[in-house]
Amino acid sequence: MKNLVILFVTILLCTNVQAQTEEFKVYNPLADGALEINEAVAKANAKGKHVLIQVGGNWCKWCRMFYKWSHETASVDSIINANYIVLHLNYSKENKNNESLNRLGKPQRFGFPVFVILDGSGNRIHTQNTGYLEEGEGYSEKKVIDFLQQWTPEAVSKEYP
């Protein structure tokens, strides 16, 4: 009887974890990456912002973690909202978006998630391996803020002596 109870509890826990994962989707595997990039660039250009592309998939724990963490961390969320149009570009077995990733310089070579920043004209200005933004079992607020601030439209256009 004890083994049956343990089995039942295990099944319930696994079902709950699976349901939570299925409910929390950041990426659309069916989306056309090229179209999404073009739309994001047009929005960024109109608003004087850059495009922050987070390449990854719903299968990626660190991708979902960054999405949630960046929205819950007010300092990070405010920098993103003020300076970037965000695009979550899918990479999965259903849709690898190879054409779009080739256009972006094959950022998947850095692992997932990986960030690509485009200017308002659609030019790639930076690719960021997110492993350098991690700290312990999560992301470093300081490292992420430093990264985001270094690639804002203001920082990139500033004249340096």
CA distance 119 to 140: 25
CA distance 78 to 120: 19
CA distance 101 to 156: 23
**Count of alpha carbons within 13 angstroms of residue 128, beta-carbon side:** 20
CATH C-level class of 25-156: alpha beta
Which residue shows structure tokens 């933004």? 133
- ω before 113 within 30° of 0 (cis)? yes
Per-residue pLDDT tens listing for the chain (161 residues): 665 555 455 555 555 444 444 567 999 999 999 999 999 999 999 999 999 999 999 999 999 999 999 999 999 999 999 999 999 999 999 999 999 999 999 999 999 999 999 999 999 999 999 999 999 999 999 999 999 999 999 999 998 88
pLDDT at 77: 98
Domain ranges of the chain: 25-156
Q: CB of 52 within 8 A of CB of 117? A: yes
In terms of DSSP bridges, do strands 50-56 and 134-135 run parallel, antiparallel, or are they unpaired?
A: unpaired
Which helix (H) or strand (E) segment holds residue 117: the answer is strand 114-118
